[in-house]
Structure 1
Amino acid sequence: MAKAVVDKDVCVGCEACVGTCPVSAIAMNDGKAQVDADSCVECGACVAACPVSAISQ
């Protein structure tokens, strides 16, 4: 696996990933999700939670 990456052009700002992340590595920035790569544990929970497939690993 790899660190999660958000495609800001696809992200709709629904915040589904924020509550799903077990280590609170995702925050909202200007209405878009942003992953803190240093905190990300590569679990993939956010990838599965994103309804528009804006997050990849």
Structure 2
Amino acid sequence: MAEDHEILARALGPEGNGTTAETAALADRWATFPIIGGVDSLNVKAAAVVAFYATR
């Protein structure tokens, strides 16, 4: 979770290949969402909701 004084940016990419190599090179940390329970995928909008909620 970001502290009040930290800058936080999120880069969301498509399934499979994910973000570009250039974007990946700028990242300090990565987060992924495990897909379980017979779900084939998680669209980027749903992933954004989870990411924003987790770092509120």
Which structure: larger Rg?
A: 2
TM range (shorter): under 0.3
Higher strand share: 1
TM-score normalised to structure 2 length: 0.26
Higher helix share: 2
TM-score normalised to structure 1 length: 0.25
